[in-house]
Structure 1
Amino acid sequence: MKQLKQTQSLIIKTGLKNNSSILTKLIFFSALSPSGNLQYAQTIFDETTLKTSFSYNTMIRAYAHSIFPLKAIYIYNQMYGMDVKSDSFTYPFVLKACGRVSLQKREEEEKGVFGILIGRKGVEIHCRAFKEGFCFENFVQNSLIYMYGQCGLVDFARLVFEEMSDRTVAAWNTMISVYDGINDFESANLLFGLSPEKNVVSWNALIGRYVKVGDIEAARRVFVEMPERDVVSWNSVISGYVQIKDYKRALELFREMQISGVEVTDVTLTSVLGACAETGDLIIGREIHEFLKQKQLTIEGYLGNALVDMYAKCGSLDMARKVFDGMSMRHVSCWNSMIMGLAVHGYSKEALELFCRMEKKYEEAIPNRITFIGILIACSHKGLVEEGYYYFRHMTDKYRIIPDLKHYGCMVDLLSRWGKLDEAHHVIKTMPVDGNCVLWRTLLGACRVYGNVELAEEAFQNIVELEPPKDGDCVLLSNIYAELERWEDVERVRNVMTNLGVSKKPGSSQVEVK
């Protein structure tokens, strides 16, 4: 990018800044090069009046593969509004963007009406492709299958597949993946058996299916027995180990991948950084960061988010903030990682200040339910009870986010920590979702601190009704009785432990050696 900016300065000085061919190449490098900068590409794109179908396609393609696929649809709408002629490259990119937006919303558990609207947008784009004579091209048809599958319109995807005059191996693989996506493994297996040709993508789809259902051993068997592997094969198995929380095996396989000489991708490093975050392996995390800097690769998108999350969870908040501030485009998940990292480590004031900054940049990232979990944790750690109530209402009033069990849990934790036991009890009893043992255990722990035996007994009784009590529950209630010198009740609780076969587990600590 440094060299590109120097070249661009020379272009301006020599009076070539209005050369359409040169501007197109500047946009292409900035948008799609691994060392490019999508925000910079957007700036060049916005400032030029010489927009061609190629420059529009470049931006749509870049955003479709980024963490901001919705922007690809905005640019497509702009292209259509400006009467710039679309071509056979436009539709595969924008249809992929529709599918990825739907997938992203589903992963964030916020699909709802938005997912339906994206499906309708996909149908609209399909109609335009049909009208302009592009919907019978293989790349467009494959993208239609993918888009309909991600939007939950599986019958439409199958209809496109059935109407294809020439079904490529890519079409078979895409349709199989659609069935895997809705857990219709019977239909997926049937198509897999009927597929006239199988390539590495076909076997990768099979690995992906086993990973999805958590059968990592079956995925590993397919991986070992594959006639050939590509980087996606390695990535799938590594992410599978991360998914089942076997972080040690994930990191071991990453080392094997490096020894085998397979070139790592953003997807590889994102999965490995996730494993580092959960295990606190700051050494490997730093190695990856140094690798990215040496290669002069842009730290943005999913990879940037993973790096911020890794540093934050490993307690290296200065580095997390440095990476965060160095990113030109931040997805909501990146803001969430930074806010959560600050909140969990007790930097409540900084977390709330960052949230205020996030609200001012509303167009960049809209707060979601995870954002407010971080905010409520920040309030809890600092004892900001009134602020906690404010943000709880703010979440509903401004962003129309319906609180779930985790949000109520944060409120119970906030109130319990700071001695508002009756208010915490009221929240549990009046919340519109069913409570769980975690909430009652939070209240029980606070009753020990503040010596409220009546509420402690009610909390313990509710735990017993929901599930067999754990050793910690019984010990907490026993200690409350002991502090009040109610020895008969202490004995009664210990008898309950004996009768239920609950034994006190010895405490333990973990240290890292070498």
Structure 2
Amino acid sequence: MEDGTKFAPPLPHSQIYHALVRAGTRIRPLQQVHARMVVSGVHCIRSLFTKLITLAGASTASNSGHYIRCLLHSAPNPDGFLFNTLIRVSSKSDRVSSADSIFFYRQMWSEGIQPSSYTFTAVLKACGDHSALRLGRLLHSQAVVNELDEDCYVQTALVAFYSKCGDVGIARMVFDRMREKSIVAWNSIISGYEQNGLADESVELFFEMNKMDSAPKADSATLVSLLSACSQLGRSDLGDWIRDYMSAKGIEPDAILGTSLINMYSRCSHVRKAREVFDNLKQRNVISWTAMISGYGMHGHGDEAMTLFHEMNSEGIRIRPNHVTFVAILSACGHAGLVNEGRRIFASMKQDHKVIPKMEHHVCMVDMLGRAGFLDEAIEFIKEHIPAGSAGPEVWTAMVGACKLHKNFKLGVEAAERLMCVEPNNPGHYVLLSNLYALAGMTDDVETVRNKMVRRRLKKQVGYSMIEIDEVGHVFRMGDRSHSQTRELYRCLDELMLKTCSAVSD
């Protein structure tokens, strides 16, 4: 070869090759084999070197990313194939940061090596994972220059990249230009709409795909995105249709698809249907169990959530709960007022399950104790379990909500002021503190907080609620009068308020 690099494949009986296979994904043994390669002079054989990189990339060791970077610097005359291998390995590895894919691409570019469609798809994935919109746009322009923007794999990667970065408009433009749309491309744009809060567009595009004879058939990934869109819209009727569609097409729900169905029905307040799906699942993992526990918890069915949690830990099943499971069960205890059970579960996390409590578990405990009126215990819990100054806004928001519920405005104001220190630019906190000052009769402070909001140009996002009646979703926003039955609704509300006032005066 011109650069002196040897490309001869390793022979089946090669000692080095077998040593690499024996080392597997363990970094220390791989480093030892690498040293033997250098000493014996076979480190220039590209196939051996590529095998070494692939195994290192699959390693779960924390130092695997650093080692792969060192391998690049020690590579003799790296070419496009080697860079593509490095980019692919780093974009798929759990331990190697996908940011390394971007680093390797820049190194490849500085070496003057032309990227291929394979290169662009891997690096665009990394850009999407890191929301690197500027770099991704640069890659898009480079793909155009290299006449690879019409490649179906690059186009699919671009659709996924722009969707992850929140630019669904450009993602749709790229999608519409595709001559051949694979199921991966359809899934990318459908999930892109759903993940960016455009659930209606996601559903509409699915039905468009379903009507086209030339379009691919929906797979599990398509239905997972669609079910998530149903959850956003509160459309359990559409969820029922998807379930019937799966049955008609012979699509057996696996753990992932089954969990999506459970989540959808739970969020649409159909807990019985969620349990029916759960009971019929042939494959259940910790995520499906957690989803069902969470479904019970969000609707106040604490006893059912506890029963399921204990069943999960029973001898016949023995699925180990993870930190998300504990968030779900602690939240269920909080909503159902099962304080003693919640205390026991929190204590068992570290003792019995070796799960270290995180901030979200602390929030659940503060919320549970606060809801039940144990405000002093909630404050003591914060002092005892959360290092001073590190309590997040979620902790103080839960505390403020509990103080407001139990009309302890003095403690509520203290918690709200701490919340303001943690997140000074969140307009919702100003409104919360202002309301507490008003309830406590501190009118001067109300004015001070409102003036601060005006000076800092902070505006609270308008909240909304949703209800489904006769398979039609109705959305209501604060101060919104766009609903077709606005007059009737406000008339009914006025009547209810009059009745409430009369009952109070009586």
TM-score range, shorter chain: 0.5 to 0.7
The aligned amino acid for 2:253 is: I
Structure 2 match to 1:10: none
**Mapped partners of 2:462, 2:88: distance in 1:** 53
- Is contact 1:235-1:267 (8 Å) kept? yes
**Mapped partners of 1:270, 1:118: distance in 2:** 33
Structure 1 match to 2:452: 500
Please tell me whether residue 324 in structure 1 is matched to residue 272 in structure 2: no
Select which of 408, 411, 429 maps to 1:455. 411
Please tell me whether residue 478 in structure 1 is matched to residue 438 in structure 2: yes
Structure 1 match to 2:256: 302
Structure 2 match to 1:314: 268
**Mapped partners of 2:336, 2:126: distance in 1:** 47
Select which of 220, 231, 236 maps to 2:188. 236
Please tell me whether residue 252 in structure 1 is matched to residue 208 in structure 2: no
Structure 2 match to 1:110: none
| 1:339-358 correspondence to structure 2 within 5 Å | 339-358=293-312
Structure 2 match to 1:173: 121
Structure 1 match to 2:226: 272
Select which of 70, 86, 92 maps to 1:150. 92
Percent identical pairs in the alignment equals 31
Structure 2 match to 1:434: 390
The aligned amino acid for 2:258 is: G
Q: Please state whether the residue corresponding to 2:442 is helix, strand or coil.
A: helix
Aligned-pair distance for 1:285? 0.6
Select which of 314, 321, 331 maps to 1:360. 314
- Is contact 2:259-2:287 (8 Å) kept? yes
Aligned-pair distance for 1:229? 1.8
**Mapped partners of 1:277, 1:493: distance in 2:** 40
**Mapped partners of 1:98, 1:281: distance in 2:** 46
- Is contact 2:311-2:317 (8 Å) kept? no
C-alpha change, 1:424 and 1:237, in structure 2 (3 Å) is same
The aligned amino acid for 1:384 is: L
Q: Please state whether the residue corresponding to 2:362 is helix, strand or coil.
A: helix
Structure 2 match to 1:291: 245
Aligned-pair distance for 1:97? 13
Structure 2 match to 1:484: none
C-alpha change, 1:455 and 1:375, in structure 2 (3 Å) is same
Select which of 275, 290, 302 maps to 1:336. 290
Aligned-pair distance for 1:170? 4.8
Select which of 371, 380, 396 maps to 2:350. 396
- Is contact 1:180-1:188 (8 Å) kept? no
Q: Please state whether the residue corresponding to 2:225 is helix, strand or coil.
A: helix
C-alpha change, 1:119 and 1:267, in structure 2 (3 Å) is farther
- Is contact 2:127-2:161 (8 Å) kept? no
The aligned amino acid for 2:403 is: C
Aligned-pair distance for 1:149? 2.6
The aligned amino acid for 2:218 is: V
Structure 2 match to 1:58: none
Q: Please state whether the residue corresponding to 2:186 is helix, strand or coil.
A: helix
- Is contact 1:383-1:414 (8 Å) kept? yes
The aligned amino acid for 1:385 is: V
**Mapped partners of 1:378, 1:270: distance in 2:** 25
Q: TM-score, normalised by structure 1?
A: 0.64
The aligned amino acid for 2:269 is: G
**Mapped partners of 1:211, 1:364: distance in 2:** 39
Further displaced range: 321-330 or 465-474? 465-474
**Mapped partners of 2:464, 2:331: distance in 1:** 26
Aligned-pair distance for 1:373? 0.7
Q: Please state whether the residue corresponding to 2:357 is helix, strand or coil.
A: coil
**Mapped partners of 1:309, 1:115: distance in 2:** 34
Structure 2 match to 1:64: none
C-alpha change, 1:393 and 1:475, in structure 2 (3 Å) is same
C-alpha change, 1:371 and 1:118, in structure 2 (3 Å) is farther
**Mapped partners of 1:200, 1:506: distance in 2:** 41
The aligned amino acid for 1:413 is: D
**Mapped partners of 2:407, 2:241: distance in 1:** 49
**Mapped partners of 2:255, 2:221: distance in 1:** 11
**Mapped partners of 2:65, 2:461: distance in 1:** 53
- 5+ residue gaps, structure 2, are 1-24, 26-52, 69-80, 110-114, 473-506
C-alpha change, 1:117 and 1:310, in structure 2 (3 Å) is farther
Q: Please state whether the residue corresponding to 1:403 is helix, strand or coil.
A: coil
Aligned-pair distance for 1:457? 2.7
- Is contact 1:176-1:192 (8 Å) kept? no
The aligned amino acid for 1:173 is: T
**Mapped partners of 2:190, 2:398: distance in 1:** 35
| 1:122-201 correspondence to structure 2 within 5 Å | 146-151=88-93, 152=96, 154=100, 169-170=117-118, 173-174=121-122, 177=125, 181=129, 183=132, 185=136, 188=139, 192=143, 198-201=150-153
- 5+ residue gaps, structure 1, are 1-72, 74-94, 103-112, 123-137, 482-488
Please tell me whether residue 219 in structure 1 is matched to residue 184 in structure 2: no
Listed one character per residue, the Cα deviations across residues 163-184 of structure 1 (whole Å, up to 9, x for unaligned) are xxxx985576346545655656
- Is contact 2:366-2:381 (8 Å) kept? yes
Aligned-pair distance for 1:289? 0.0
- Is contact 2:140-2:158 (8 Å) kept? no
Structure 1 match to 2:330: 376
**Mapped partners of 1:301, 1:142: distance in 2:** 33
Aligned-pair distance for 1:352? 1.4
**Mapped partners of 1:150, 1:381: distance in 2:** 39
Q: Please state whether the residue corresponding to 2:313 is helix, strand or coil.
A: helix
C-alpha change, 1:403 and 1:270, in structure 2 (3 Å) is same
Question: Cα RMSD between the aligned structures?
Answer: 4.3
Q: Highest Rg: 1 or 2?
A: 2
**Mapped partners of 1:471, 1:179: distance in 2:** 37
**Mapped partners of 1:291, 1:115: distance in 2:** 43
**Mapped partners of 2:190, 2:310: distance in 1:** 37
Aligned-pair distance for 1:405? 2.4
The aligned amino acid for 2:225 is: S
Listed one character per residue, the Cα deviations across residues 122-161 of structure 1 (whole Å, up to 9, x for unaligned) are 9xxxxxxxxxxxxxxx9xx999864443212757988xx9
